[in-house]
Structure 1
Amino acid sequence: MIEIWNKLYTWLEQHVPHLADELNEGAGVQSFKKLEDAIGKSLPEDFKAFYSIHDGQALDEDTGSAEGLIDGDILLPLEEVFVQWTAWKTLLEEGQFDQMVSTPDKGIKNAWWNPLWIPFTHDDNGNHICLDLDPDDSGAVGQVIMTWHDATERVLVASSFSEFIAEYVEGLENGLYVYSEEWSGIINKEEAEDF
């Protein structure tokens, strides 16, 4: 993960140096333990290796937000991962999703939300990129999925966190993403051009 972070640093320093300055220090053992104890399952080692270098982005004290680092999404610090996960779990336990029907990709269990989906990004609109620690029989534990608060799709993004982050950084290096002040973060170049 050091190599991935080094590539990401290089891109940020060339294109958006202020975002590099807004990364948190690495997460410690207790931060991982708090989240793992809550979800009742170990986090994937590749995810932990990534977060041990930088624990997501520093969030604005007033708004609780930040500019998008991951295709328009905020890379959440573990404390906020816990907050978002807890909010979704509470809604699930209250029965808020009992009548909701999703349309998941192959490899993803059919649910509106699953307590073993761990949101590690946020777009400030209730949508997340998540670790899926409870796939269906054709999926892989630790695969990366996209969920929406108001749309039925549950999309398989990558078979692991390592694959997800490596592909994203490669996309940055290949010019598929740009920084947009209007969109408040790094977004897909085609979306920026359409805006």
Structure 2
Amino acid sequence: MDFAQLLARLDALLQQYRPAYYAQLAPPAPAAALAAFETEFQLKLPLELHQWFGWHDGQAPICFDSLVGFYSLPSLDDMADTMRINCELLADGDFVPNWWRPGWLPFATNGSGDHLCLDLEGTFTGQPGQLIEHWHDYEARTVVFPSVAAWLAAMVQAYETAALTKTEFTDDEVSNFELEPPVGFPLEFVAG
């Protein structure tokens, strides 16, 4: 199943089982904002992230609920702010190797400075497109999924499985969803 189809399934699940959360999702990011982001960071967003931010540009700043696990949705501007700060610290020599990389796109956040990043570089594995957990104060760097599509498929499956026994999900229930990674994942690494 392709990414757009998975995103449509997630959209329907959120509307049905989390209507209050769904109402807090922002409108899509304008194409001009996506182009400006690419220009500023001198990179090309993968199609999946164009579709992701074209679905919703994060969630309302007053909404602290998570989409899945402890991850919520930052806006494109929030993602850019995180990248600016970390790239500046990297350029200043404040990080050990692989604490932060310029090709990490922090498209999900726990709100405490930690992120799920789409890794354009293939850090540690040589496989661009993988998802890596970035902790702001901890050196573990776990490659949790081989791609954003695999992560989205696991999230849709978690929602659909939970929907077999529920009519609506609370934030606490969604925070406890455990996504099933493909065989061979997660892969554990350490910055430094």
TM-score band, normalised by the shorter chain?
Answer: 0.7 to 0.9
Distance 1:135 1:11, change over 3 A: same
Instruction: Choose from 174, 187, 195 the match for 2:161.
Output: 174
Residue by residue, what CA displacement relative to the aligned partner does 1:41-99 show, whole Å, maximum 9, x if unpaired? 10111221222122221222xxxx632113221211111111111111122122221xx
How many residue pairs match? The answer is 172
- Counterpart in the other structure of 1:103: none
Q: Which residue of 2 aligns with 1:107?
A: none
Q: Which runs of 5+ in 1 are unaligned?
A: 101-109, 191-195
| Matched residue SS, 1:162 | helix
Secondary structure of the 1:67 match is: coil
CA distance in 2, matches of 1:125, 1:137: 24
Q: Which residue of 2 aligns with 1:90?
A: 88
* Equivalent residues of 1:142, 1:159 under 8 A apart: yes
Q: Which residue of 1 aligns with 2:174?
A: 186
C-alpha spacing 1:91/1:137, structure 2 compared with 1 (3 Å): closer
Give the TM-score of the pair, scaled to structure 2.
0.79
Counterpart-to-counterpart distance in 2, 1:167 and 1:19: 20
Separation of aligned partners in 1, 2:123 and 2:112: 27
The residue that corresponds to 1:106 in the other structure is none
How do 1:136-175 and structure 2 match up within 5 A? 136=123, 138-175=125-162
What's 2:77 paired with?
A: 79
CA 1:136–1:94 in structure 2 vs 1: closer, same or farther (change >3 Å)?
A: closer
Cα distance between partner residues in 1 of 2:124 and 2:8? 35
Displacement after TM superposition at 1:179 (Å): 4.7
Match in the other structure for 2:120: 133
- Counterpart of 1:10 in structure 2 is 12
1:68 aligns with 2:70: no
Which runs of no fewer than 5 residues in structure 2 stay unpaired? 179-192
Identity of aligned residues (%): 28
| Alpha-carbon distance in 1 for matches of 2:124, 2:81 | 29
SS at match of 2:133: strand
Per the TM alignment, residue 15 of structure 1 is displaced from its structure 2 partner at its CA by 3.0
Classify 1:137/1:130 alpha carbon distance in 2 versus 1 (closer, same or farther; 3 Å): closer
In the alignment, what sits opposite 1:50?
52
SS of structure 1 residue aligned to 2:162: coil
Cα 1:137/1:175, change in 2 over 3 Å:
same
1:179 and 1:187 in contact (8 A); partners too = no
Deviation at 1:150, TM superposition (A): 1.5
Taking CA–CA contacts closer than 8 Å with sequence separation of 6 or more, which of the two structures ends up with the larger relative contact order?
A: 2
Shift of 1:132: 0.4
The CA RMSD measured in Å over matched residues stands at: 2.3
1:73–1:121 Cα contact (<8 Å) kept: yes
